């Protein structure tokens, strides 16, 4: 009986000390990776609660407004643009993985087959839209102005030999319109959700040296907290690296 009471007292003490982290994430691969992390954090006395979002705006707003502690879905160029345009002050805690960005089509087997006047859909946010245009340039479909960088827009297209029409749409909708356009440039998380295999289905894809590392993002007031640092360490653990490599087989690449 005494041992039982001691065990219960220890459990109660652990429960009282346990911290909770509420994290926003997009479904694939971010929420899946966080599920792997949950038991690792539990051993460290941190309860991880994951709230799944399907857009790229609310996860940042919810963290900025302190409704959630952190999020896991975006890369640095997107975070920088979001902070600048929304007057938020979110910060990177640690980099976790790269999702090589790809071009897909249900009508053509190669981007060289795009017909004159083809319609190509790209994300409508500044950073991913620019990323899409850079990939189209890399594939030889268009040529951008020399000064155009990662925030390139369709107005920066200098050469367009096939007179392609660029449609800017919300990133999450791109897999759903794939059959309605000649090609679509799709973020890997949305491609995976739509059961597309980036390493097999993409007509063009970024290399593993892509600078767009996906980040754990928090606020200046909590990024250095003990619980947040435990989460950061877990996200760069051997267990997570093995999961990413075995689960996604090159569609998602560890950045550590």
Q: What is the pLDDT of residue 13?
A: 43
Q: What pLDDT band is residue 10 in, cutting at 50, 70 and 90?
A: very low
pLDDT at 6 over 70: no
Q: What is the pLDDT of residue 208?
A: 61
Q: What is the pLDDT of residue 1?
A: 57
Beta strands in the chain (DSSP E): 19-25, 46-52, 70-75, 91-98, 102-104, 119-123, 143-144, 157-159, 165-169, 183-186, 204-205, 213-218, 253-254
Q: What is the pLDDT of residue 18?
A: 75
**pTM of the predicted structure, to 2 decimals:** 0.81
Q: What is the DSSP letter of 114?
A: P
How do residues 118-146 score in pLDDT, each as one tens digit? 999 999 998 899 999 999 999 999 999 99
Unique residue bearing structure tokens 């794939």: 178
How do residues 196-234 score in pLDDT, each as one tens digit? 999 999 999 987 667 799 999 999 999 999 999 999 999
Q: What pLDDT band is residue 150 in, cutting at 50, 70 and 90?
A: confident
């Amino acid at each position: 009986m005494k041992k039982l009471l001691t065990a219960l007292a220890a459990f109660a003490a652990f429960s009282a000390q346990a911290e909770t982290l509420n994290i926003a994430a997009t479904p694939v691969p971010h929420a899946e990776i966080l599920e792997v992390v949950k038991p690792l954090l539990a051993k460290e006395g941190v309860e991880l609660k994951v709230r799944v979002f399907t857009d790229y705006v609310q996860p940042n707003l919810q963290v900025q407004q302190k409704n959630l502690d952190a999020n896991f879905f975006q890369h640095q160029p997107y975070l920088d643009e979001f902070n600048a345009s929304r007057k938020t002050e979110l910060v990177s805690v640690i980099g976790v993985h790269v999702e090589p960005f790809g071009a897909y089509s249900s009508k053509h087997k190669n981007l060289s087959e795009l017909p004159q006047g083809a319609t190509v859909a790209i994300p409508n946010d500044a950073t991913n839209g620019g990323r899409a245009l850079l990939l189209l340039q890399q594939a030889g479909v268009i040529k951008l102005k020399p000064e155009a960088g990662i925030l390139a827009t369709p107005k920066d297209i200098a050469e367009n030999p096939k007179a392609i029409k660029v449609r800017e749409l919300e990133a999450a909708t791109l897999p759903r319109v794939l059959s309605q356009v000649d090609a679509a440039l799709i973020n890997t998380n949305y491609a995976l959700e739509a059961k597309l295999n980036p390493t097999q289905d993409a007509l063009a894809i970024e290399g593993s040296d892509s600078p767009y590392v996906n980040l754990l993002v928090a606020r200046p007031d909590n990024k250095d907290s003990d619980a947040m640092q435990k989460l950061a360490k877990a996200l760069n653990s051997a267990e997570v690296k093995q999961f990413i490599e075995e689960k996604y087989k090159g569609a998602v690449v560890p950045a550590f």
